Chain A
Amino acid sequence: EVQLVESGGASVQPGGSLRLSCGGSGFPFNIYAMTWVRQAPGKGLEWVSSITAAATHTFYADSVRGRFTISRDNSNNTLSLHMNGLRAEDTAIYYCAKLDYGEGPFDFWGQGALVTVSS
């Protein structure tokens, strides 16, 4: 059974930093691209960032480029999102998800980690 478990969600002040982690199990982690998607309270889904299976390429939404960094450790089946310069508008539930083959849909999602940016 595929499982994705996020951790690291917290409440931080504007300008602060946070690192989210996502542990994967039940599938060969090292052959699938992974992604982060967020959902602000009461709002829709917003793609944040993706990383290829071997971590050779990373991609970001304009809203987070230069502030967020996606990475992965295939030896430990872990996906990370380092978030710097946090703003109130970054407040959201952050989901990690596994991509289907290639540039496919997001076929499995974690339960989400809540990030709150407030003074």
Chain B
Amino acid sequence: EIVLTQSPDFQSVAPKEKVTITCRASQSIGGRLHWYQQKPDQSPKLLIKYASQSISGVPSRFSGSGSGTDFTLTINSLEAEDAAAYYCHQTSSLPHTFGQGTKLEIK
């Protein structure tokens, strides 16, 4: 089973600041890494697919990078509505696995 480890677990950031969340895989997964946003009491929403591909309707301040074992989600110019939990997810091999999540708080 591929283990995904996110850091940090929690981050408190002021509006307009830049946020970086990392996801490390226990073995190479190529680019088969995706990012989701989950706001309180809502279902997850796909933000970035295949490490860096943007999703229609997702604000351009969200971007992703990385390959192999190390990946990054970047949120530029944070807005109040970005308060949520963020999860990475791999579809390189079964079982599909998720990172433990990063909770983002807006100061």
Contact = CB atoms under 8 A, between A and B. Distances in A.
A112 B43 contact: yes
B46 A95 contact: no
| Size bracket of the A interface | 20 to 34
Contacts of A111: 43
Interface in B29-44: 32, 34, 36, 38, 43-44
A109 B45 contact: yes
B89 interface: yes
Given A44-B100, A44-B101, A45-B98, A104 B91 contact: yes
Interface string B41-62: 0011110011000010000000
A35 B89 CA distance: 14
Nearest to B42: A111
Contact of B44 (A50, A61, A62, A109): A109
Contacts of B76: none
B71 interface: no
Interface string A89-109: 000000100001001111111
Interface in B72-103: 87, 89, 91, 94-101
Majority secondary structure of chain A interface residues (helix, strand, loop or mixed): strand
A47 B44 contact: no
B95 A95 contact: no
Interface string A42-64: 00111100100000000101100
Interface of A: 35, 37, 44-47, 50, 59, 61-62, 95, 100, 103-112
Given A59-B94, A106-B89, A109-B43, 12 more contacts: A37-B44, A44-B98, A45-B89, A45-B98, A47-B98, A50-B96, A59-B95, A105-B46, A105-B50, A107-B55, A108-B46, A110-B43
